[in-house]
Each structure stands twice: as structure tokens, then as C-alpha cells.
């Protein structure tokens, strides 16, 4: 196999798909301040893309060329819609397609999608086959967990490794564990042994609890998987993928400047298509790690519109510049 996955540096970094978080705006900010080696879109419904409401769903698939290599993550339970969606994604110019087989949310599991596929191997195999056919040479990968109720890598990861995937991301928790227990990195050596046996060409990405690049180097030495995916860590520190900087190096001024950049790009990209209130959760990502940060965030949380939010952020950034001791 010779796909973009096979031509990345090792170890490589991946921005995790996060619904409601990793839209094009946040990915643009991350790309500008510290770009990971691979980016994923939020998960996107194949059924939604094939429905009358496709325009709204398609917003998830917006990206800029500077985000490449970027992978579109899709979910559903209907192989025909995976086939059509994969054809569409290829036309849009993505570098790869990833199938979500790990999301634990009840509504998607109830409809037989995402992590429900861990319990339905025949449908999982059909979906992978249909996606590959539609992808027409674009690399197809899967993101999953280590089992449903209990760890089941022998059967489930073994099954996936036999599907000739370009890459496989393993979030090292069961579905039942949600994010409530530490990720089981101790299982990675066994997964890599299985890869050697069943699918030497499938690139393996580990995921769960990574909070800085230093940890990646340690885990790479200890476990040896090629890729490391970071989700919530980027929310705690959006500069996480910049290996030249520590969290403590980011000045208060820069934090406000990047938040303002995010707000302006959000307005330019989404206008009224998305609620301004989504932006509030990003305030925590940028405005932290300095004295009194929580007091500044509280002020930001009180705003009632995007215009007010921008005004408040500008005002607070001036206060911190004039009175750095307050920051
Ligand atoms: C808000 C949020 C949204 C998520 N959305 C997705 C998603 O769309 N697709 C997916 O495969 N995983 C999704 N995840 C799971 C993450 O990609 C990742 O597997 C998980 O957070 C564990 O990694 P971490 O410990 O680095 O955060 C989401 C997680 C969070 C917190």
C-alpha cells in the first residue's frame, strides 16, 4: 500500500474528530498556530448527506487547502449511502475517508451506526467494502474502540485488521467506559502484534488521554504505534501541536488575539448559520493558564450576542495589556 498515511513522519500527530469542536474554523486556527500532521473533520452523517437537508450537513465537509492532509470522517448504517458519500468525498478533494465505528452516543448506537457496528461484523464489513468502492483509490480508515461492554481486541480489532484498511485508529477504551477511565495504552503492544500477523501494511494510530507532545515521544518509545491522535488535549491547549512551545510560553496577549481571530473567522465562515453561543466553549481553550483567567472567562460568558462577545474580548485584552499584573 502506498497512501499518504504511509508517507508521514514517525511518530506522526493527528487532530481528533470532535463533533461541535473541530469545524473548519477551529481547524484553521490549529493549522495556523501549530499544525498536526493529519486533520480529521467532525463526523458527518452519510444519511444526512443523501437527504434533503444535505446543505446543512455539508457544512461539516468544508475545508481549506492548507489543512491537507485532511480526512473526512463519516458515519451511518446504510452501505449504499456510504458508497455515494465516498464518491462525493473523493470529488471534494479530501486525502482520505474515515469510518466512525466508535461513537458511544445513544441515538447513533440505537440506529445501528458507529460503535453499534462492533456488535455487527457483517454490516461493518459491508460498509467498509461499499466505502472502498465509492472511494475509488482514496485511502479508507476506521476509528474505533477496544470493545463494546468489555475489551474484545482479539475478535474486533482482529476482524478490522483483516479488512485491508489503510489506517486504523484505536481509542483505547471500551464503549461502556466512555471517557471515564484512563485509556488502556497497555493493550497497544498486543494490537501491534496482531497487526504484524494480519495486516502489516495498516498504519496504527493510538488515541486516549494525550496531553502534550512529550508524552507522544514517550509512548512512541514504549509502544511503537506510528500515529498519535489528540482530542481533548487540544481543547486544554490549542498550541499543543507546536513542538517549539510550552503551554507556559503563550502570553496572555496572544491568547486574546487568537480568541479574537477565532471569533472573526467564525462570523465570516458561518454568519448566522451557526449559533454564536458555540463560541463560548472556546473561551476556556484560549483564556486559561494565567492568574485570574477564570474571572475573565466569567465576564465573557455573560455576553448575549457575537457582537457583544467580540467587544468584551477586545475590552478585556486591553485591560490585560494596560494592567499585566491583573492578568
Ligand atoms: C466533544 C467531543 C466530540 C467528539 N466527536 C467525535 C467525532 O465526531 N468522531 C469521533 O470519532 N470521535 C469523536 N470524539 C472522540 C475523540 O475523537 C477521541 O476519540 C476521544 O476524545 C479520546 O481522545 P482524547 O483523550 O485525546 O480526548 C469526540 C470527543 C469529544 C470530547
CATH number at residue 150: 3.20.20.70
Do 26 and 174 sit in the same domain of this protein?
A: yes
Q: Could you tell me if 80 and 130 are in contact, meaning their C-beta atoms sit under 8 angstroms apart?
A: yes
Torsion angle of the four alpha carbons 228, 59, 110, 229, in this order, in degrees rounded to the nearest 10: 0
Expressed in angstroms and rounded, the spacing between residue 280 Cα and the centre of ligand 1 is 19
Query: Which H/E stretch holds residue 318?
Result: helix 306-322
Residue 327 has pLDDT above 80, yes or no: no
Do 191 and 255 sit in the same domain of this protein?
A: no
Considering only CA atoms, which residue is closest to atom 15 of ligand 1? 18
Do 22 and 52 sit in the same domain of this protein?
A: yes
Residue carrying C-alpha cell 467580540: 310
Q: Which atom of ligand 1 is nearest to the CA of 209?
A: 25
User: Which of 15, 17, 206, 212 is the pocket-test mutation for ligand 1 (most atoms within 8 Å of CB)?
Assistant: 17
User: Which of 13, 14, 16, 234 is the pocket-test mutation for ligand 1 (most atoms within 8 Å of CB)?
Assistant: 16
pTM (predicted TM-score): 0.96
Strands 44-45, 38-40: parallel, antiparallel or unpaired by DSSP? unpaired
Strands 203-207, 227-230: parallel, antiparallel or unpaired by DSSP? parallel
Considering only CA atoms, which residue is closest to atom 1 of ligand 1? 18
**Which among 209, 236, 263 is the end of a domain?**
236
Average pLDDT of the segment spanning 18-29: 97
Residue 325 has pLDDT above 60, yes or no: no
pLDDT at site 245: 84
Helix intervals (H) in 199-303: 213-222, 232-236, 252-270, 280-286, 293-301
Do 175 and 290 sit in the same domain of this protein?
A: no
pLDDT at site 246: 82
Do 230 and 254 sit in the same domain of this protein?
A: no
Q: Is 58 within a domain?
A: yes
Average pLDDT of the chain, as a whole number: 95
Tell me which residues have their CB closer than 6 angstroms to ligand 1. 16-21, 42-43, 73, 100, 102-103, 143, 171, 207-210, 230-233
Cβ-based neighbour number of residue 90 at 10 Å: 16
**Which among 203, 236, 269 is the end of a domain?**
236
pLDDT digits (tens, 9 = 90+) for 106-148: 999 999 999 999 999 999 999 999 999 999 999 999 999 999 9
Query: How many distinct structural domains can be found in the chain?
Result: 2
Domain limits for position 298: 250-326
CA distance linking residue 55 with residue 39, whole number of Å: 22
Considering only CA atoms, which residue is closest to atom 10 of ligand 1? 17
Q: Could you tell me if 85 and 134 are in contact, meaning their C-beta atoms sit under 8 angstroms apart?
A: yes
Cβ-based neighbour number of residue 104 at 10 Å: 19
pLDDT at site 320: 75
Q: Is 241 within a domain?
A: no
Q: Is 242 within a domain?
A: no
Do 106 and 224 sit in the same domain of this protein?
A: yes
Average pLDDT of the segment spanning 277-289: 93
Expressed in angstroms and rounded, the spacing between residue 22 Cα and the centre of ligand 1 is 10
Q: Is 201 within a domain?
A: yes
**Which among 236, 260, 288 is the end of a domain?**
236
Q: Is 125 within a domain?
A: yes
Do 98 and 193 sit in the same domain of this protein?
A: yes
pLDDT digits (tens, 9 = 90+) for 190-226: 999 999 999 999 999 999 999 999 999 999 999 999 9
User: Which of 210, 231, 235 is the pocket-test mutation for ligand 1 (most atoms within 8 Å of CB)?
Assistant: 231
pLDDT digits (tens, 9 = 90+) for 226-255: 999 999 999 999 999 998 888 778 999 999
Do 204 and 268 sit in the same domain of this protein?
A: no
Question: What is the percent of the chain where pLDDT is above 70?
Answer: 98
Expressed in angstroms and rounded, the spacing between residue 294 Cα and the centre of ligand 1 is 25
Residues with catalytic roles: 103
What are phi and psi for residue 166, nearest 5 degrees? -70, -40
Residue carrying C-alpha cell 463560541: 279
Do 82 and 167 sit in the same domain of this protein?
A: yes
SS3 248: helix
Do 209 and 310 sit in the same domain of this protein?
A: no
Q: Is 163 within a domain?
A: yes
Residue 326 has pLDDT above 70, yes or no: no
pLDDT at site 62: 98
Q: Is 107 within a domain?
A: yes
pLDDT at site 324: 56
Do 122 and 205 sit in the same domain of this protein?
A: yes
70: phi > 0 → left, psi -120 to 50 → alpha, else beta; which? beta
Query: Which H/E stretch holds residue 42?
Result: none
CA distance linking residue 246 with residue 34, whole number of Å: 12
Expressed in angstroms and rounded, the spacing between residue 317 Cα and the centre of ligand 1 is 31
Expressed in angstroms and rounded, the spacing between residue 256 Cα and the centre of ligand 1 is 26
Q: Which atom of ligand 1 is nearest to the CA of 232?
A: 27
pLDDT at site 114: 98
pLDDT at site 318: 87
SS3 217: helix
Amino acid at each position: 500500500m502506498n497512501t499518504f498515511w504511509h508517507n508521514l513522519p514517525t511518530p506522526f500527530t493527528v487532530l481528533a474528530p470532535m463533533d461541535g469542536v473541530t469545524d473548519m474554523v477551529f481547524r484553521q486556527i490549529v493549522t495556523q498556530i501549530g499544525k498536526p500532521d493529519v486533520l480529521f473533520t467532525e463526523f458527518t452523517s452519510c444519511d444526512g448527506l443523501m437527504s434533503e437537508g444535505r446543505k446543512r450537513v455539508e457544512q461539516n465537509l468544508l475545508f481549506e487547502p492548507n489543512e491537507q492532509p485532511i480526512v473526512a470522517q463519516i458515519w451511518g448504517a446504510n452501505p449504499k449511502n456510504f458508497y455515494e458519500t465516498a464518491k462525493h468525498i473523493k470529488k471534494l478533494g479530501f486525502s482520505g475517508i474515515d469510518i466512525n465505528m466508535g461513537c458511544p452516543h445513544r441515538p447513533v448506537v440505537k440506529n445501528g451506526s458507529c460503535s453499534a457496528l462492533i456488535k455487527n461484523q457483517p454490516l461493518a464489513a459491508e460498509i467498509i467494502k461499499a466505502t472502498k468502492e465509492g472511494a475509488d483509490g482514496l485511502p479508507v480508515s476506521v476509528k474505533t474502540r477496544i470493545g463494546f461492554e468489555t475489551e474484545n481486541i482479539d475478535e474486533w480489532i482482529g476482524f478490522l485488521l483483516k479488512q485491508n484498511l489503510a489506517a486504523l485508529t484505536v481509542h483505547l477504551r471500551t464503549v461502556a467506559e466512555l471517557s471515564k477511565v484512563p485509556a488502556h495504552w497497555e493493550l497497544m503492544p498486543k494490537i501491534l502484534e496482531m497487526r504484524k500477523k494480519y495486516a502489516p501494511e495498516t498504519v496504527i494510530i493510538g488515541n486516549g488521554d494525550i496531553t502534550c507532545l512529550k508524552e507522544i515521544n514517550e509512548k512512541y518509545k514504549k509502544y511503537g504505534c506510528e500515529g498519535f491522535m489528540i482530542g481533548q488535549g487540544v481543547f486544554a491547549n490549542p498550541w499543543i501541536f507546536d513542538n517549539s512551545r510550552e503551554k507556559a510560553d503563550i502570553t496572555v496577549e496572544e491568547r486574546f488575539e487568537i480568541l479574537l481571530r477565532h471569533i472573526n473567522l467564525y462570523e465570516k465562515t458561518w454568519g448566522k448559520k451557526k449559533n454564536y453561543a458555540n463560541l463560548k466553549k472556546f473561551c476556556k481553550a484560549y483564556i486559561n493558564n494565567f492568574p485570574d483567567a477564570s474571572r475573565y472567562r466569567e465576564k465573557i460568558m455573560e455576553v448575549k450576542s457575537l457582537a457583544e462577545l467580540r467587544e468584551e474580548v477586545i475590552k478585556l485584552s486591553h485591560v490585560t495589556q494596560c494592567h499585566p499584573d491583573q492578568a
